[in-house]
Structure 1
């Protein structure tokens, strides 16, 4: 990350390789003053009020409808982030189908949004907590993902120009990035039993 983003402030602690699940802490790159910082945030943005049946809010892991009034408050550049990934999974019967990049040396990020110091009840046993939260955008799937998930795939950015555009451009321009990777850019690999997750 430091090589890709000179001047990056590393506030994520001693991070090694890992696998991340919804409602867990995961690394993101976000705005900080005049630069970027690497931090850990909780995966799951606040849910729309109409979706909540109790005071508990489990969070929303991904975002598709950018015209929703609920999401528009977080679509400005100051709330956009990059979520570093090396592979990701889509749920299938009995576990997950994993995908990696055909070019394993290409850095990649989910296009994310984030908010800070959000107070909510994520787990009843914990009561109200204050968290920095994130989620990532989804779009129509490409050929590889559509074989197991015909409705959506994460928005993945692989070029420095895309990273800069997502982090800085007005949403009217940046929303053009909400499109699938080209067909052939991903390779499926062994299915593992477990919940939806990202690495």
Structure 2
């Protein structure tokens, strides 16, 4: 489960990667390490335009209050996610510069699990996007992002899942197509287009 990522891209880099958008771009704060329950930038569709928003990472849990937020969407057939997935206006993209997975076993010296960072090759855009969904909550808006089977690179560290990374050409499809077509994008990103980093 991905529970840490970074978003260090500028507004101009976001526009180069995803096209024009509106929103309060003059006051976009600096984002470094993003953990669950923290605010993060998101792009969502509204009236056929992209809108830059800031949302809390993590949906409220499906049962009793006090549970940790649900940050990753794995079972796309679950009724818990269905209403958001069915509605294009409830889908979003989550800009990312790198994401982290933790090693399964602790480091022999430190006795702690080690962070391993992943991103795209330098030839790619400096920022890419996870396929996300969002909902209104008492505090404003909250988002989570989809996961899928890992590719070979990520699977060597975290064999259960990886975030769904969208190709630039698939962003509009994710934000506008009917549910089956949009959810068909939940596949592992090409291993050869990714790299592993020692540090963020």
In structure 1, distance between residues paired with 2:160 and 2:193:
18
Contact 1:103-1:185 at 8 Å conserved across structures = no
**Alignment partner for residue 142 of structure 1, among 143, 151, 156?**
151
How much does 1:59 deviate? 1.0
More strand, by proportion: 1
Question: Cα 1:97–1:7, aligned 2, differ >3 Å: closer, same or farther?
Answer: closer
Matched, 1:31 2:45: yes
In structure 2, distance between residues paired with 1:136 and 1:90:
15
**1:41-65: CA deviations, max 9, x gaps?**
000012222xx4xx21421110011
State the aligned residue count.
176
What is the correspondence of 1:55-74 to structure 2 with a 5 Å cutoff?
55-74=65-84
What is the correspondence of 1:19-168 to structure 2 with a 5 Å cutoff?
19-49=33-63, 52=64, 55-75=65-85, 76-92=87-103, 93=106, 94-106=113-125, 107-116=127-136, 118-119=137-138, 130-159=139-168, 161-168=169-176
3-state SS, counterpart of residue 118 of structure 2: strand
3-state SS, counterpart of residue 55 of structure 2: strand
How much does 1:7 deviate? 4.3
3-state SS, counterpart of residue 71 of structure 1: helix
In structure 1, distance between residues paired with 2:88 and 2:74:
17
**1:106-138: CA deviations, max 9, x gaps?**
24100000012x13xxxxxxxxxx231000000
Contact 2:17-2:128 at 8 Å conserved across structures = no
Question: Cα 1:6–1:104, aligned 2, differ >3 Å: closer, same or farther?
Answer: closer
More helix, by proportion: 2
Name the TM-score, length of structure 1 as normaliser: 0.81
Question: Cα 1:172–1:7, aligned 2, differ >3 Å: closer, same or farther?
Answer: same
Contact 2:31-2:40 at 8 Å conserved across structures = no
**1:55-109: CA deviations, max 9, x gaps?**
2142111001111111101112010000011111112232311012124432410
Task: Name stretches of at least 5 consecutive residues in structure 1 with no aligned partner.
Answer: 120-129, 193-199
Contact 1:26-1:40 at 8 Å conserved across structures = yes
Question: Cα 1:67–1:88, aligned 2, differ >3 Å: closer, same or farther?
Answer: same
